[in-house]
Amino acid sequence: MRLIRRFEERAIELVRSGVIAGGIHPYIGQEAIAAGVCAALRRDDFITSTHRGHGHVLAKGADPARMLAELAGREGGLNQGRGGSMHAADFGLGILGADAIVGAAAPIAAGAAWAARQAGSDRVATCFFGDGAVNQGVVFEAFNLAALWQVPIIFVCENNGFATSTRTEDAVAGTIAGRGAAFGMWTRTMDGMDVEAVLAAATEAVDRARGGHGPSLLECLTYRFDAHHTFEYTARPRYRTTEEIEAAQARDPLPRQGARLPEQVREAIDAEIEDLLTEAVQFALDSPHPDPSTALEYLYADSTPVRAGVA
């Protein structure tokens, strides 16, 4: 959690200084979900992530230096600068990528989990998405397929109270948990700002999936402390009060978990993370920019010829 928090803070600095173009969707406040869920997963399990995906990718084990280089659009990035903040992937770690279309990764994650089971493996998939995704039809299509075919997947809904600026209660009829239950999925709602609570629920869901008991839905109640996207720093949309943010910060998952650790351990972790991120920032800054002549590289799996934009 501390790694994710400090990673995001360093990334925001790099957005402000212009190193990261296009801005980011900070995960600050929601760290307990990525950390708790990924702690229940194996290295070879799959995840799909979202536009607000740095936390998931880091928690699944991606190298922060290569992640930061990706955000900066460098050759040394996870995706060699081709994906950026919203598409970071590391297939070697089962990270099938962050996805910038809300809800669109739900069937992809389900398909990967199904194929793994077909291959005789006990790998599972986790699909992270926000409360904004629960009004996308494709998510329910994926719920149905997953439940119908007993796919080993854990759907993790991070209910942070807002789809950009629209409050969950202004967008969601009924309840999110009710939507999981409607498909017969094992569904739990928990305090998504308590990493131990998330880990406990995720462990049970993962065990169920691995044991052949089908999909689950975890609704993790949380709050986003920072902007929907860094564009808010200049656009300054008004959709919540400082008081509301401060009230949520009283439930900050970091100090809550920190209090459960011996002070010396906590300090050692914090120091280690600072060193790691200092190195990561340096790695990103030192990594070369991609050669513009390679802009179409990887468009196809093979060497399919593509014409330039001018003859």
Partner 1 sequence: MPNQSYLKALNRALLDEMERDPAVCVFGEDVRSAATNVTAGLFQRFGPQRVLDTPISEQGFTGFATGAALAGLRPVVEFQIPSLLFLAFEQIADQAHKLSLMTGGQARVPVTYVVPSSGSREGWAGQHSDQPYSLFAHVGVKTVVPATVADAYGLMVSAIRDDDPVVVFAPAGAMRRRQDVDFAAIAPVPLGRGRVVRSGDQVTVVAVGHLVHDALAVADELAALVSVEVFDPRTLHPFDWPGLAASLERTGRLVVIDDSNRSCGIGGEIIATAAEEMRLIAPPKRVTRPDGAVLPFAAALDRALQPSREQLHAAILDVVGLGANGRGAWLDRDDVNGADGSWTNQVVGVPRG
Residue whose token pair is 């209090």: 259
Q: Does 76 bind partner 1 (CB under 8 A)?
A: no
Q: Does 91 bind partner 1 (CB under 8 A)?
A: yes
CB distance 184 to 208 below 8 Å: no
CB distance 209 to 153 below 8 Å: yes
Q: Which stretch binds partner 1 (CB under 8 A): 178-186, 259-267, 270-278, 293-301?
A: 293-301
Give CA–CA dist 177/131, Å, rounded. 11
Selected from 81, 130, 152, 215, the binder of partner 1 by CB under 8 A is: 81
Q: Least distance to partner 1 from the beta carbon of 233, Å?
A: 26
DSSP-derived 3-state class of residue 141: helix
* Residue number, 119 or 173, with CB nearest to partner 1: 119
Q: Does 301 bind partner 1 (CB under 8 A)?
A: yes
Selected from 8, 45, 90, 226, the binder of partner 1 by CB under 8 A is: 90
Q: Least distance to partner 1 from the beta carbon of 95, Å?
A: 9
Give CA–CA dist 125/117, Å, rounded. 10
Largest CA distance in the chain: 66
Give CA–CA dist 204/1, Å, rounded. 21
Distances (CA, A) of 106 to 49, 66, 94, 155: 9, 26, 15, 8
Selected from 59, 69, 108, 209, the binder of partner 1 by CB under 8 A is: 108
Q: Does 120 bind partner 1 (CB under 8 A)?
A: no
CB distance 248 to 30 below 8 Å: no
Q: Least distance to partner 1 from the beta carbon of 282, Å?
A: 21
Site size with partner 1, rule: CB under 8 A: 52
User: Which stretches of the chain bind partner 1, using CB under 8 A?
Assistant: 46, 77-83, 87, 89-91, 96-97, 99, 101, 104-116, 118-119, 125, 137-138, 141-142, 144-145, 148-149, 296-302, 304-307, 311
